Amino acid sequence: MLTKDLLKYSRRESRVHPKYLKPNDKNLIQLGDDLAALYRLHVGQSWRDLNDQLKQHPESSDGVFQGFGKLLEDRCTFGESDETLEEQRWTWFETSRALRAQGVPSRADFEREMAEKSGRSFGAMQEQLYADLPEFRNIQTFEDISGEALVHRYNAAQIQGLLLRAQKVRFSIHEKDIVTRRRLLQKLRFCRLLAEFVENPEGALTLEISGPLSMFDQVQSYGMRLCQFFPYVLLMPKWELEATVKLGENYYDLKIDSSKPIRSHYRSFSGYIPEEFQAFIRAFNALPAVDRKDWLVEEGQEHLNLGQQCYSFPDLTLRHKNGVQRHLELFHKWHESELRKRLTVLADFKEAPLILGISQDLAKDPNVEGLLARAKETGISIFTFRQFPTVKAILTYLPKVKV
């Protein structure tokens, strides 16, 4: 992601206009290739060594250079800092203070005394003194990227940076293939976002999503999930994006579409399942059949038409060996309005094979408690969870399901 100071845009009247790089600019592509090569060469070395090299580059003060650098840094993994070094550092400081108080004849004597008292050479102490600070940590891995791909990544990051400051967001998708739509909306759920869906007669699908600035808390984490979803939209052949963005004290309209020079850095819709979903699926399916009561769980790949222009795209699907299946849809504390709509629809569609998982933060909200109590009385399937449903919680609930 790009930090606020690296975003490039202009403001004219009520509109904000991102500034894009030309994907076919040979100079920019070469700069991207050169910087990626520099990062690649410094794997195994400290971040400080790489940073010193970057500062010597003739374009180091340029905004695009710095933006490329930030995106490349995000592709690095760093060695964990040694928490014992801070304690060791203070021990060395105390030893040094005591030696100076005693009055050491010369620097050579001081270094010898320090080495004897610490049990290691003075040079080794110097190297390790601040080794736990970020700039001294080693670069363990670097996910390589071409210069051309980096230019596209930069353009996408410009939009993502603005989406972090969005109050509301609307995506319009022109794609009639139901499988492709389903995969896109599945990713919407995996990013823990909920949207209102409207399909027009021409087949365009509009997704209305609350922006991070409409949240009362967890603004940053919600904004990051919205940014994580945007590259999936870029995989669609034709799309439009409209958003209201706060810059400074004012709000501006952002309007872009698939004609802009932006390409997704995601390869496809397939292959990605969030870690918490993977862990749950592995743990559940690894149990003996008798313990999981002959159910198996998998990622949700279907959508349910609940009527009244209401669609559910479940997070997980449970399948029993006799063919019965139940879909699990999760609601977190920022999903109150979507939960209310779902409960209203299910009141008229009680036979929907849908189980609602409600986070405890949302379930304990005074405005929601009564709704859930009445919904349970009408037969709507509901259970609660903390951060993410546990295998135990699902196993406790499943005996209530008719098979």
Is the model's pLDDT at 158 over the cut of 50?
Answer: yes
Q: Which residues contact 369 (CB under 8 A, 6 or more apart)?
A: 363
Chain-wide mean pLDDT for the chain? 84
Q: In whole angstroms, give the CA distance from residue 222 to residue 261.
A: 26
Please give the CATH topology (third level) of the domain spanning 275-400. Trna Endonuclease; Chain: A, domain 1 (3.40.1350)
Is the model's pLDDT at 55 over the cut of 50?
Answer: yes
Please give the CATH topology (third level) of the domain spanning 164-270. Alpha-Beta Plaits (3.30.70)
What's the pLDDT score for residue 128? 64
Q: In whole angstroms, give the CA distance from residue 376 to residue 346.
A: 11
- DSSP codes, 240-260: EEEEEEEETTEEEEEEEETTS
> How much is the pTM?
0.68
What's the pLDDT score for residue 68? 96
Instruction: Give the SS3 label for residue 184.
Output: helix
Is the model's pLDDT at 89 over the cut of 80?
Answer: no
What's the pLDDT score for residue 216? 44
Query: pLDDT tens for residues 102-113?
Result: 777 788 878 787
Across 158-171, average pLDDT: 91
What's the pLDDT score for residue 145? 95
Query: pLDDT tens for residues 258-308?
Result: 999 899 988 776 645 678 888 999 999 999 999 998 999 988 777 777 776
What's the pLDDT score for residue 131? 58
Query: Is-contact 380 350, C-beta < 8 A?
Result: yes
Most confident of 61-65, 119-123, 201-205, 273-277: 61-65
Is the model's pLDDT at 234 over the cut of 70?
Answer: yes
Query: Is-contact 195 188, C-beta < 8 A?
Result: yes
What's the pLDDT score for residue 271? 47
Across 27-44, average pLDDT: 95
| Higher pLDDT among residues 349 and 30, named by residue | 30
Share of the chain above pLDDT 70, in %: 89
| Higher pLDDT among residues 191 and 2, named by residue | 2
Q: In whole angstroms, give the CA distance from residue 358 to residue 378.
A: 17
Least confident range from 78-82, 93-97, 220-224: namely 78-82
Is the model's pLDDT at 64 over the cut of 90?
Answer: yes
What's the pLDDT score for residue 26? 96
